[in-house]
Structure formats: C-alpha cells, structure tokens
Amino acid sequence: MTNDSLLIRDAFDSRMAGQQVEYAVLVPPPSSSTGPLALIFHLHGAMSSAGILEGAKST
C-alpha cells in the first residue's frame, strides 16, 4: 500500500455545456484518514484549471 495521494482525472458528457467536461479528484493517502473526510470543491475558471490539484498532491 502506498502513502501517496491519488489524482484521478476523467470527463463526462454535459448537456448543459454541450461538450465533455473534464474533472479531477484528489484523494488523500489511505494512512491519513482516521474517520470521515470533508468534501471540498475547488471550482475554477477564467485562467485557472484543475492543474492546481497536481501542485497540492503529496508524494
């Protein structure tokens, strides 16, 4: 088992946007959780991206 956080990238078809929308999820290392975790949304736009999660990823 690894102590690294996991960055998951995927996309879904959005009828509202009329195209595929990419998203990313940063999952903490398994050893860091002793109970329920808070769910934090990082909404971005206008010159930012989900790439900020890569910088937050622990190794």
List, for residues 30-43, the tens digit of each pLDDT value.
Answer: 776 677 877 777 77
Rg (CA), the chain: 14
pLDDT exceeds 50 at position 19: yes
Alpha carbon of 45 to those of 5, 10, 52: distances in Å?
Answer: 24, 17, 12
pLDDT exceeds 50 at position 28: yes
- Contact between 40 and 53 (Cβ < 8 Å): no
1 belongs to a structural domain: no
Q: How confident is the model at residue 12 (pLDDT cuts 50, 70, 90)?
A: very high
Task: Tell me the residue range of the domain where 25 lies.
Answer: 6-56
pLDDT exceeds 90 at position 55: no
pTM for this one? 0.62
Total number of domains constituting the chain = 1
42 belongs to a structural domain: yes
Alpha carbon of 17 to those of 21, 22, 30, 49, 59: distances in Å?
Answer: 8, 11, 34, 17, 34
- Contact between 24 and 9 (Cβ < 8 Å): yes
21 belongs to a structural domain: yes
